[in-house]
Amino acid sequence: MDPVAEGIWRISAPIPYPMKYVNLYLLEGDGLVLVDSALDTAPARAAIEEGLAERRAAPRDLDTVVLTHHHPDHYGLAGWFEEMGVPVYMLDVAIQRDHAWWSRFEPWLEQSTAHFREHGMPEAFIADLREVMEATRRRIRPHRAPLSLTSGQPIALAGQRYTVHWTPGHADGHLVLLRDDGVLIAGDAILDRITPNVGKWVGSRPDPLGDFLNSLERLRGLEPKRALVGHYGPAIEDVPARIAEIEQHHRERLQALERALAAGPRTAWELSLVLFPQEGLSTAQRRFAWAETLAHLVHMEGLGRVRRVPETPVRYQLVP
Ligand SMILES: [Zn+2]
């Protein structure tokens, strides 16, 4: 491994998703800290063990694990570390909201199914999707006693001072860590090559896209010198330029939705097929496309540009 910033090493852990790897960051100095945790699979555990072995350490030697958010590829091994006695931290918002996705999975799956139906997903697709979600759950080992961080809180990690910042949007309880020298550990709050998925899931905050755009503004204001990201990368050197590209992407997507809605009321599912016409998307990718479309619709609803037709499944129409 080469360091990606002073005292920070990247461990690329394999994940069985199109992105192929999740970047975990090992902070080494006065202590040893891991940011994010990959899925609970043998190849991911081996990647973590090998990365730590290069620094002459083992997983149980970690002082702390910090999770940027609760998505499976960042969270899946939380319980593995906890079982070794390593304290695992998340943002307080994530513990209150997102952690239940995995710790109370069955009710969440049922609520999600109702939410999928409400927004036009076909029954056969829902059946496939439930299987995908159950398979994902088998690759997750939730921690029983998550420890809490608060936005704005200064925290010493491996002897360096960081500040925790809440950046909702990609996930309600997403956090980033800003080191005093301007190095930002960004998780999936911004990414290179792809834009972070912003979805309206069951139980999500009211306007995830609005949250996400506000979080980009907040990141811009932090003036990071470089951002270490959760996939691809590892580093974004010109953070303001990348933020501007992501903002432009969402403006264009909102315009594309307006054009698609000009043909009459549509469900989020129908619109997702217009916005994401690619064939061969996996069930999970189609679900992301649907949730992203719904997040944009809900955002437009908040701006008064669309409204719901009061029937089930919910259809959206332009406000004339
Ligand atoms: Zn994520």
| Cβ atoms within 10 Å, residue 311 | 8
**Pairwise CA distance, residues 202 & 160, whole Å:** 37
Q: Is 182 a domain residue? A: yes
**Ligand 1 center to 173 CA (angstroms):** 11
- Please name the residues in contact with 131: beta carbons below 8 A apart, sequence gap of 6 or more: none
**Ligand 1 center to 194 CA (angstroms):** 12
Residues within 5 A (CB) of ion ligand 1? 71, 188
**Ligand 1 center to 155 CA (angstroms):** 23
Residue type, 193: R
Look at phi and psi of residue 196 and say left if phi exceeds 0, alpha if psi is from -120 to 50, else beta.
Answer: beta
Q: Is 296 a domain residue? A: no
**Ligand 1 center to 99 CA (angstroms):** 13
pLDDT score for 154: 98
pLDDT score for 101: 83
Q: Is 10 a domain residue? A: yes
Look at phi and psi of residue 107 and say left if phi exceeds 0, alpha if psi is from -120 to 50, else beta.
Answer: alpha
**Ligand 1 center to 111 CA (angstroms):** 21
- Please name the residues in contact with 68: beta carbons below 8 A apart, sequence gap of 6 or more: 35, 36, 74, 174, 175, 176, 177, 185, 186, 187, 188, 189, 230
**Ligand 1 center to 320 CA (angstroms):** 36
Q: Is 239 a domain residue? A: yes
Q: Is 272 a domain residue? A: no
**Ligand 1 center to 170 CA (angstroms):** 6
**Ligand 1 center to 24 CA (angstroms):** 13
| Contact assessment for residue 210 and residue 299, using Cβ atoms and an 8 Å cutoff | yes
Q: Is 19 a domain residue? A: yes
| Contact assessment for residue 9 and residue 1, using Cβ atoms and an 8 Å cutoff | yes
175: which strand partners? 166
Q: Kindly tell me the number of DSSP H helices and DSSP E strands found in the chain.
A: 11, 16
| Residue span of the structural domain in which 46 resides | 3-94+140-247
**Ligand 1 center to 125 CA (angstroms):** 22
CATH number at residue 40: 3.60.15.10
Q: Is 83 a domain residue? A: yes
Q: Give every residue of the chain whose pLDDT is below 50, as ranges.
A: none
Q: Is 153 a domain residue? A: yes
**Ligand 1 center to 260 CA (angstroms):** 28
The total domain count for the chain is 1
pLDDT score for 192: 94
**Ligand 1 center to 197 CA (angstroms):** 7
Residue type, 104: R
From the centroid of its chain, how far is CA 153?
A: 21
**Pairwise CA distance, residues 198 & 215, whole Å:** 12
**Ligand 1 center to 206 CA (angstroms):** 18
Could you read off the pLDDT of 108-167 as tens digits, one per residue? 999 999 999 999 999 999 999 999 999 999 999 999 999 999 999 999 999 999 999 999
**Ligand 1 center to 71 CA (angstroms):** 5
**Pairwise CA distance, residues 31 & 17, whole Å:** 32
Could you read off the pLDDT of 182-197 as tens digits, one per residue? 999 999 999 999 999 9
